[in-house]
Amino acid sequence: DSNDLVAVNNYIKAKQTDPSDEMHGIAEGRNVIVVKLESTQNFVINNEMNGEEITPFLNELTKDEDTVYMDNFYHQTEQGKTSDSEFLLDNSLYPLGRGAVFFTHSGNEYQTLTENFNDNGYYTTALHANNGSFWNRNTVYENFGYDRFYSLPDYTVGEGEDVNWGMKDIPFLQQSVDHMKEMEQPFFSKVITLTNHYPFTLDEEDKFIGEYDSNSRTLNRYFQTVRYQDEAIKEFFASLKESGLYENSIIIMYGDHYGISENHNVAMSKYLEREITPFESAQLQRVPLFIHIPDSGVGEVNHTLAGQIDLKPTIENLVGIETGNAIQFGQDIFSEDNDNFVILRDGRFITEDIVYAGETCWDKETGEAIDSEICLPYMERVNEELAYNDEIIYGDLLRFYDAKNGRLKEDTTEPVDVE
Ligand code: GP9
Ligand code: MN
């Protein structure tokens, strides 16, 4: 009931950090375009396969004067995969440990990034060339407050423009820019790519690099689809510039979850030239995050430890939306008091010095197992935080909370039983 919310709120207030003043409102009034990079892990960035770059365009962005590239950014998804990464973006809450919250708790009351954009005069949209019912998106997007969902029927899939799970990223992103040209500004658009999805198949003409050579055909092909996606992003930027939207927009891109599971550890260890211990596996859960703000000069490679849970407060601060009263577990990535602590949904965690994974505490610098006593105090915090999170979702607790005024709703002393 609403008493549970009091405990949750106290926990959140105690760990809350002030967002960065320096970044506050730096993108105020601009369109916000969030591109979710399907199955894209961080190990491909600034790396090579058979002497060839895997992500030449994204690599350039890591050195770009208007781009912040985060290289210690983790996905926090579970079985809900892409949909979990969307849940994290919109709510700054963890998804569930089992099942997909997009299916199990689609009707809860949420206080989302999208609604906050709506309240601040933005037109809010999601774009993805798949059936609207996949991952229950039609229902959830409506609940999250999206004004419009451009799904498969909003796209023209021409001859040869279909591969693997559906429409290829290059025409998809192109047509998405056409949709954006028609939108009322400023807009918030979440754009979801698809080509770099298991089993990572491509048409011959879209293979810009060769395959890798290992015992995993999945990993061998993965490099090629990541390379294709990189090309699609490059063309997307070009189209945005051509359309005139670019200068008045910011573009945020992040990997949604891993593409290469632990079933491919032998092949991964061949590629990375080291053993894939539980420590390495945890570190492989890093996905790239790019924050591109044209004409800002804020570019840097930022090593702060962060996760998808931090996207909402970070984006809100960039556009100048006040987020102080929100019930959320993330923090502004650029906050000066950032606690540099990341919790993965399965209880693994990462600090500046240690990683907890495989029920073992690991020294980050050496990659060796260390005395587990060192991890104990953090473990308590991790369990507490995930438990509070689950109470919010299972109890639909946000229906008792007035986020604008930062207090319990007055008429909820006798909460209605929804069961
Ligand atoms: C489907 C796409 C892929 O529409 O988002 O979902 P995934 O299998 O990665 O969760
Ligand atoms: Mn996905």
Per residue of the chain (419 residues), give pLDDT as tens.
888 899 999 999 999 999 999 999 999 999 999 999 999 999 999 999 999 999 999 999 999 999 999 999 999 999 999 999 999 999 999 999 999 999 999 999 999 999 999 999 999 999 999 999 999 999 999 999 999 999 999 999 999 999 999 999 999 999 999 999 999 999 999 999 999 999 999 999 999 999 999 999 999 999 999 999 999 999 999 999 999 999 999 999 999 999 999 999 999 999 999 999 999 999 999 999 999 999 999 999 999 999 999 999 999 999 999 988 999 999 999 999 999 999 999 999 999 999 999 999 999 999 999 999 999 999 999 999 999 999 999 999 999 999 888 889 875 555 445 44
DSSP state at residue 191 = E
pLDDT at 416: 47
| Residue closest by Cα to atom 4 of ligand 1 | 130
* 373 sits in which H/E element: none
Residue 192 — φ and ψ, nearest 5°? -115, 115
Show the CA angle centred on residue 156, arms to residues 154 and 162, nearest 5°: 115
> What is the pLDDT at residue 324?
85
Residue 281 beta carbon below 6 angstroms from any ligand 1 atom: no
Which ligand gives the minimal distance to the CA of 40?
2
Ligand 1 neighbour 103 (Cβ under 6 A): no
Contact 3, 391 (CB under 8 A): no
Which ligand is in closest contact with the Cα of 81?
1
192 Cβ closer than 6 Å to some ligand 1 atom: yes
| DSSP-H helix ranges across 16-125 | 56-62, 81-91, 101-104, 113-119
Gap from CA of 31 to ligand 1 centroid (Å):
25
Q: Which amino acid is at 343?
A: I
Ligand 1 contact, 314 CB (< 6 A) = no
Region for residue 206 given its phi and psi (left: phi exceeds 0; alpha: psi -120 to 50; beta: otherwise) = alpha
Please say if 413 is a catalytic residue.
no
